[in-house]
Chains A and B, each alone.
Chain A
Amino acid sequence: MHFLHGFLLFLEVKMKILVIGGGIVGSLLTKELSKYENIDVTLVEANYDLGAGVTKANSAILHGGYDDEPSTLRAKLCARGNKMYDDLVDELGVPVQRTGSLVVSEGNDGDKKKIIELYKRGIANGVSGMKIVEGEELRKIEPYLSPVFKYGLYCSSAGITEPWIVAINSGRLAESNGAEIMLGDRVVGGLVRNKRAVSAVLNSGKKIQADIFINCAGLYYEEIAKYFDVEVEKVLLRKGEYLLLDKAAKQFVNGVIFPLPTKMGKGKLILPTIDGGVFLGPTSEDLKSFDPEDLATTRNGLEEILKSSDELVPGISKFNWIIKSFAGLRPETEGKDFIIKRDEEISNFITVGGIRSPGLTAAPAISEYVINEILNGQMNIKLIKKEKIVERIPAKIRVREESFERISELIEKDELYGRIICQCNQVSEREIVDAVHSGARTIESVKLRTRAGFGRCQGGFCTWKVAKIISRETGIELEELIMNNENSYLLEGKVR
């Protein structure tokens, strides 16, 4: 606390905060911090867009919050975060569908005990909308569920979202409120003097000084901690592989379907995606060594998914519906709980690490916790809200989601709405151009922001069009364009 005493005397001097890592956690936190008068916040993200780390590859579930022990941060922040998403819909225009979730079991005595235990835990955690369901009622919720399942826990407050959009739109709102967002630059070192973090060194050579540093680097949180002489719990990486199915599969699934949880996690699920497809997975496999870029899928993993999803909803994987497979990594820690705390030694350094599932759900509550408990509370900074802030960013128009009459009006004002670029998801040129103008520079950024290329042709029809639009709008030559990271160039050069 020592450094703050002097500091607080000069309230008109802004306190500079550097948030490291623009996943859902870092982005939401930056958005909140940008609302304060006496804070000057900068977010630095290694990728070319926000939400392109763990936030990009997960189940995208807003968990009800009945899985975790009431004493944990996970339990507390998950149930709270779930509720906070209602406000995010309004503030950030992010899509949320409360599809409900269903944990299913065969209904023997042991199973029933576990389901009841989940229910009780949910009550203790303050989860709303739970109900134990049996027989016919179960089938009404999920008509295609295998008949071996007879007993389950339904939770109507659970749902799905589009996690990277939460991160990206948080970034946009934060910028409107004065935050600085640095993309495509990575923290590669830190300077600590007298037990105080002083500055962060970036890959580009830039140095950023700050008064407070917040580590939200996801899988890389140990590395960041090391740069600032902070000791943290070791993370182990646990891979989760997925299959994405065509929209045609959606008729077989209404909400999130879980098997009974095990020690390895919540099991392999079936759930709808926000744009109308279906996810199968994830697997759960510990990586042998720490390799946070290992997003490779495996034959075993994919086969396991097919098998287990068929046990939940028979027939779902037999059809010709698979359009994509991918993997994400979970940061597992021995303590299993989120690690959110101010460092005892380096007292201007805050760790937000080990943010595993239900990290997405909890993320808005994590921001709240950091601000209320740590900044306001432990560090005793009197944060002052700005008098005037941009309260929300306008929801993006998606042609696919508008009525025909409304689209007609839109085109009358702007013909780009009438030029359909991605036909599988009906994404118009206006949506793509807007994404580029709001910062998308890669094929994947455009895809994540607009859903162009997410559909059943997986970009076969539209990749070249998207590439040309990015090139036209930014002046980047086609052969300089990348898919996502630095080395992922698309094209080699000109034919002639």
Chain B
Amino acid sequence: MNRKITCVMCPVGCRITVEMNGDEPVISGNRCTRGRQYVIDELIKPKRVLTTSVKVEDGDLPLVSVKTSGPIEKKIIMDKMKEIKKKTVGAPVKIGEIIIENIDGNGVDLLATRKVKKIHK
């Protein structure tokens, strides 16, 4: 079996070829090692970085953008969105601040990717 998988880990988007040599996948076409890990995950349990927003109170913006600190399993994303939609944080928010700790149960956190200043009403 010969499968082509587009790596989504970075915008280069390498088209990586996986050939099965018995049980052993032979991987080629990746321009970096992250691509290799991506393909292996993709075959067993696909993972993605999730980016979205969380509601902020008393901020100069209504939302703070967030990302997972690493890829999380694709199949839990919709579930995690439900959790994220319920979450509210108070301003100020710093970039890199943990918004939800260990969101996937495997050590990946949800981090703020934008700073939000506090406004005094």
Contacts and interface: CB of A to CB of B under 8 A. Distances in A.
Direct contact of A and B (CB under 8 A): yes
B53 interface: yes
Interface string B14-56: 0000000000000000000000000000000000000001110
A491 interface: no
Nearest to B87: A496
A266 B88 CA distance: 62
Contacts of A495: 53, 63
B94 interface: no
B106 to A, nearest CB: 26
A19 to B, nearest CB: 44
B62 interface: yes
A373 B109 CA distance: 80
Nearest to B85: A496
Contacts of B53: 495-496
Interface in A476-496: 495-496
Contacts of A496: 53-55, 62-63, 85, 88
A496 to B, nearest CB: 4
Nearest to B84: A496
Contacts of B88: 496
Interface in A298-342: none
Interface in A72-102: none
Nearest to A494: B62
Interface in B70-121: 85, 88
A320 B117 CA distance: 43
Nearest to B88: A496
The majority secondary structure among interface residues of chain B is strand
Main SS of the interface on chain A?
loop
Contacts, number: 9
Q: How large is the interface on A (under 10, 10 to 19, 20 to 34, 35 or more residues)?
A: under 10
A495 B53 CA distance: 9
A496 B54 CA distance: 7
A495 B54 CA distance: 9
B50 to A, nearest CB: 15
Contacts of B55: 496
Contacts of B54: 496
B85 to A, nearest CB: 7
A496 B62 CA distance: 9
A406 to B, nearest CB: 34
Interface in A438-496: 495-496
Contacts of B85: 496
B93 to A, nearest CB: 14
Contacts of B62: 496
A496 B88 CA distance: 9
A122 B10 CA distance: 70
A496 B63 CA distance: 8
A495 B63 CA distance: 9
Nearest to B63: A496
A343 B116 CA distance: 67
Interface in A387-428: none
A219 B118 CA distance: 53
A496 B53 CA distance: 8
Nearest to B62: A496
A495 B52 CA distance: 11
B30 to A, nearest CB: 36
A373 B75 CA distance: 78
A241 B12 CA distance: 45
Nearest to A496: B55
Nearest to B56: A496
A350 to B, nearest CB: 53
A102 B88 CA distance: 65
B105 to A, nearest CB: 24
A496 B85 CA distance: 6
A495 B62 CA distance: 10
B100 to A, nearest CB: 14
A495 B88 CA distance: 13
A475 to B, nearest CB: 16
A246 B54 CA distance: 40
A496 B83 CA distance: 12
A58 to B, nearest CB: 41
B22 to A, nearest CB: 49
A496 B61 CA distance: 12
B54 to A, nearest CB: 7
A427 B55 CA distance: 32
A496 B89 CA distance: 12
A495 B87 CA distance: 12
A495 B56 CA distance: 12
Contacts of B63: 495-496
A26 B2 CA distance: 74
A410 to B, nearest CB: 28
Interface in A202-231: none
Nearest to B55: A496
B62 to A, nearest CB: 7
B88 to A, nearest CB: 8
A464 to B, nearest CB: 13
A278 to B, nearest CB: 40
Interface of A: 495-496
7 contacts: A495-B53, A495-B63, A496-B53, A496-B54, A496-B55, A496-B63, A496-B85
The 4 closest A-B pairs by CB, nearest first: A496-B55, A496-B63, A496-B85, A495-B53
Given A495-B53, A496-B53, A496-B62, 5 more contacts: A495-B63, A496-B54, A496-B55, A496-B63, A496-B85
